Structure 1
Amino acid sequence: MISSTPFPNPISTRQAKRYCVFLLASVLFLVLTWECLYVYKNSPDIQRSINSLAGRSPAKPFAFVTMLLASSVTADENNQPVQDWYYNATRLLVYRLSHYPETKSKFPVIVMATRGVEDWKVEQLKVDGAIVKVVDPLYAQDVVDNVNDMAVLDTRWSRMFTKLRIFEMYEYERLCFVDSDILPIRNMDEVFDVREQTSAYLSSFELLNKLRRFLDGKRFREDFSAYDLRRKDFYPYVFAAVSDPGSWHDTPPQFQDYFNAGLFVFHPSTAHYKRLMTLARFPKMYDKANMMEQSLLNFAYSSAGEFPWQPLDWTYNGVWTRKSDLAYLKNVHGKLWQEEGSMGYDPDTSSLWWRAFREMDHFYKEHYSISAWQAH
């Protein structure tokens, strides 16, 4: 006689394994489905292919953009003209992106020059092939509520918030900002192939990151009414940059959750410009503006915030370049025209910049009968 029991028969080990496999397969299927939807929604390559098949061209162009500030020193103690090395570096950047075969881009190059840059420099950059946009500079005292809350404030750095004005270039769909002291050594057009982030679609990796940040208590929330905007007004957005490895690093460097603002890809946006200008008022929120606009951008696009940044491959911004990095990098970043050793650059890295400068000088003499050393 079989006795009845109020408890069901226990699940066998084999059945339990089957249930686990089924559950894992279901989760994997859902994740892959979500990823496929995400890729379809956000992949630049797929969207370009769809537009091409449909006979549609992008509504707005892509471009590289750099910034040139008016030089604060134009003559030495003997009243002799001095070289404006940031201008020279800007010309070299334009040359490399517009003319040099190994680094020439299919995208235009914009130089955002502040009012006060000499007219002859503006005209020369146009001859070199750049689109020049002259803007009024943004001084720290015009942006920050209380400059005494800032860690550093000197003549040149006080104008670095001017970089934020590139977010006003609404006629472009996507821009890649490049510091003028960056030297392209390989083509970098693929830097634009980054995801466009929408509010509706997040990758599974980003969803897990959001959950992790929430559980860690690191996520901060913003009151969007402070900008007189709604959260959805900020989408879609793009912001991608290269992790800053620090002066001493391995090759390849380890990822740091802090980016260098010498090169980043973004989507110009009224909402994001307004947000940045609002956040900029309070430097105590972003490390007392210790690194000026870099500190602000790292705060605004923090991985713990509402609009997390996307990492670009480290090869796009060789900040603190080491000799072992050169075989991989697309760009070398640093004031390499300075005396060897003054910023920790080794001779091999510095020689790259000087060789490129001489190549540019030869190119302009041959094509325009103008020397790269020309000074007015």
Structure 2
Amino acid sequence: MAASEKKFAYTTLITRASYLAGVIILGYTLKKQGSKYPLIVFYTPSLKESAVKALELEAPKINLILKPCELLLPRSDLKITLIAERFGDTWTKLRVFEVIDYDAVCYLDADMAIFKNMDSVFDKAADLPSDWIAANHACVCNTDKDAWAPEEWNIENCAYTPLSHPDALAHPTKVTPESRPTYHLLNSGMFLYHPSQQLWDSMLDFFNTTDKLSTYKFPDQDFLADFFHNRWASLGWQYNALKTMRYIHPNMWRDNEVVCLHYIVDKPWVARVSADGTAGFKGKDGITHGWWWDEYAEWVKQRESEGADENVKLMKQHAAKEDGSEEDDPDMKAIGSKVQAFAANKVGDENAPPAASTDGATGGDSSPFRKVLGERGHGPVVHPNGSSKMAQ
């Protein structure tokens, strides 16, 4: 079957209204850059009604398919250790593997924007085995010397360090069974896969039975690297261009080669670029954050010209004000310029479960969200007494 006859799609996940601006600009830029395929937006009951309404209004304009889903969290008997509380609901990202009626699917995080046509990523699907994924390496340079990072996380052990332009685009560092451990770590912001019931069932069984989840600091990312160990192929950095690569890996990075920009750490929509051109938690992201705000301004102008005033009103509720002030919202602050301070708001040191977030995205042991997937993932099932058995 020719690639043009294949059925492809993109997916993303939103659990909190603080990511609404990210999802809408992701969908807007996908379409703007000429993508032929829809963006399936998974959203949980924790998403505020105003955000759902905004997605519904945008869906026909930017080719969104909205798909409600339940949250996915580990068994209640596991003691979870995360870098920050905000990662507590990212386990639900694994639900995108439930979409089985496509030949290939490309997952994209809600904090991304597209600057070139992304559809070329599906060309990689032809050579991808059915039970593999294609993804990008995690950058393990750890230039900030974060205390939680293992000793081997350094520039010398980063899979991007040996690369330079232009070879890095088509010849990323390969992952082999003999590769150093850090080369086996992937970044889960973007990954390509062949969905199937068999793959989802296998993944679900591993999720509901393994005790390894208690060791993961980046929930879905560590899970995928473990589950697909020696079964993932590396892609060029341009498909998941971490904004920090611009100054950490300048030998490789070129602005005009960025296909998909990943706004890791603090998110651009939480704060405007300062008058002196600085942005980001380290002040080095003025250029890349500026790109996001350019797309936002274009989106606003287009919607206003269409008379889509409600779309604009809802969007502006979840983006920094024009006067430069940030929203006084705990969820927005948790992904803003002081995001590093929120790393202290983590679970693990006290071996406690995730604390409840302001929009109910995660909860403690008594929370209705302390659930895991049931048989084949069709709805949540509470496991009494910390049972790890699959629902019958």
Instruction: Indicate if the aligned counterparts of 2:241 and 2:262 stay in contact, CA closer than 8 A.
Output: yes
Distance 1:321 1:344 in 2: 14
Distance 2:100 2:222 in 1: 24
* Shift, 1:188, TM fit: 1.3
Instruction: Indicate if the aligned counterparts of 1:196 and 1:236 stay in contact, CA closer than 8 A.
Output: no
Instruction: Indicate if the aligned counterparts of 1:283 and 1:289 stay in contact, CA closer than 8 A.
Output: no
Distance 1:186 1:97 in 2: 8
Residues 56-135 of structure 1: pairs in structure 2 closer than 5 A: 57-58=5-6, 61-71=7-17, 84=18, 86-98=19-31, 100=32, 103-117=33-47, 118=49, 119-129=52-62, 130-135=64-69
Instruction: Indicate if the aligned counterparts of 1:65 and 1:110 stay in contact, CA closer than 8 A.
Output: yes
Residues 277-288 of structure 1: pairs in structure 2 closer than 5 A: 277-281=204-208, 284-285=211-212, 288=215
Distance 1:189 1:345 in 2: 30
Instruction: Indicate if the aligned counterparts of 2:14 and 2:44 stay in contact, CA closer than 8 A.
Output: yes
Find the residue that maps to 1:264 and give its secondary structure. Answer: strand
Distance 1:195 1:163 in 2: 20
* Shift, 1:245, TM fit: 2.5
User: Which amino acid in structure 1 is aligned with residue 227 of structure 2?
Assistant: A
The equivalent position to 2:245 in structure 1, one of 301, 321, 327, is: 321
User: Which amino acid in structure 2 is aligned with residue 131 of structure 1?
Assistant: I
* Shift, 1:186, TM fit: 1.0
**Alignment of 1:302 onto 2:229:** yes
* Shift, 1:246, TM fit: 3.5
Instruction: Indicate if the aligned counterparts of 2:21 and 2:269 stay in contact, CA closer than 8 A.
Output: no
User: Which amino acid in structure 1 is aligned with residue 24 of structure 2?
Assistant: R
Structure 1 length as normaliser, TM-score? 0.63
Instruction: Indicate if the aligned counterparts of 1:112 and 1:135 stay in contact, CA closer than 8 A.
Output: yes
* Shift, 1:294, TM fit: 0.5
CA spacing shift, 1:283–1:152, aligned 2, 3 Å? farther
Partner of 1:163: 93
Distance 2:293 2:78 in 1: 38
Find the residue that maps to 2:256 and give its secondary structure. Answer: coil
Find the residue that maps to 1:122 and give its secondary structure. Answer: helix
User: Which amino acid in structure 1 is aligned with residue 28 of structure 2?
Assistant: Y
**Alignment of 1:342 onto 2:301:** no
Distance 1:344 1:276 in 2: 39
* Shift, 1:336, TM fit: 2.7
Residues 125-204 of structure 1: pairs in structure 2 closer than 5 A: 125-129=58-62, 130-138=64-72, 140=73, 143-144=74-75, 146-148=77-79, 150-152=80-82, 156-196=86-126
Instruction: Indicate if the aligned counterparts of 1:197 and 1:236 stay in contact, CA closer than 8 A.
Output: no
Q: Which has the higher contact order (CA 8 A, sep 6+)?
A: 2
Deviation string, structure 1 residues 233-285 (Cα, Å, up to 9, x no partner): xx733410011224566555773332100000011122222222222246653
Instruction: Indicate if the aligned counterparts of 1:91 and 1:128 stay in contact, CA closer than 8 A.
Output: no
Unmatched 5+ residue regions in structure 1? 1-46, 72-83, 199-234
Percent of residue pairs identical: 24
Instruction: Indicate if the aligned counterparts of 2:131 and 2:194 stay in contact, CA closer than 8 A.
Output: yes
Partner of 1:243: 137
**Alignment of 1:331 onto 2:285:** no
Partner of 1:273: 200
Deviation string, structure 1 residues 310-339 (Cα, Å, up to 9, x no partner): 111111001133154223221111123345
* Shift, 1:165, TM fit: 1.1
Instruction: Indicate if the aligned counterparts of 2:30 and 2:118 stay in contact, CA closer than 8 A.
Output: no
* Shift, 1:374, TM fit: 4.1
Distance 1:151 1:189 in 2: 36
Distance 2:261 2:201 in 1: 32
Instruction: Indicate if the aligned counterparts of 2:115 and 2:258 stay in contact, CA closer than 8 A.
Output: yes
CA spacing shift, 1:283–1:333, aligned 2, 3 Å? farther
CA spacing shift, 1:196–1:302, aligned 2, 3 Å? farther
User: Which amino acid in structure 1 is aligned with residue 71 of structure 2?
Assistant: P
User: Which amino acid in structure 2 is aligned with residue 315 of structure 1?
Assistant: Q
Bigger-Rg structure (1/2): 1
Find the residue that maps to 2:110 and give its secondary structure. Answer: coil
Instruction: Indicate if the aligned counterparts of 2:130 and 2:193 stay in contact, CA closer than 8 A.
Output: no
Distance 1:368 1:352 in 2: 25
Runs of 4+ residues over 4 Å off in structure 1: 195-198, 247-254
Instruction: Indicate if the aligned counterparts of 2:213 and 2:223 stay in contact, CA closer than 8 A.
Output: yes
Find the residue that maps to 2:184 and give its secondary structure. Answer: coil
* Shift, 1:369, TM fit: 3.1
Partner of 2:2: 48
Distance 1:375 1:368 in 2: 18
* Shift, 1:183, TM fit: 1.1
Distance 2:214 2:38 in 1: 35
CA spacing shift, 1:266–1:180, aligned 2, 3 Å? same
Instruction: Indicate if the aligned counterparts of 1:322 and 1:345 stay in contact, CA closer than 8 A.
Output: no
More helix by share: 1
* Shift, 1:286, TM fit: 5.7
CA spacing shift, 1:321–1:363, aligned 2, 3 Å? farther
**Alignment of 1:351 onto 2:245:** no
Distance 2:131 2:24 in 1: 30
* Shift, 1:179, TM fit: 0.3
Deviation string, structure 1 residues 137-161 (Cα, Å, up to 9, x no partner): 11x2xx336331x212865422211
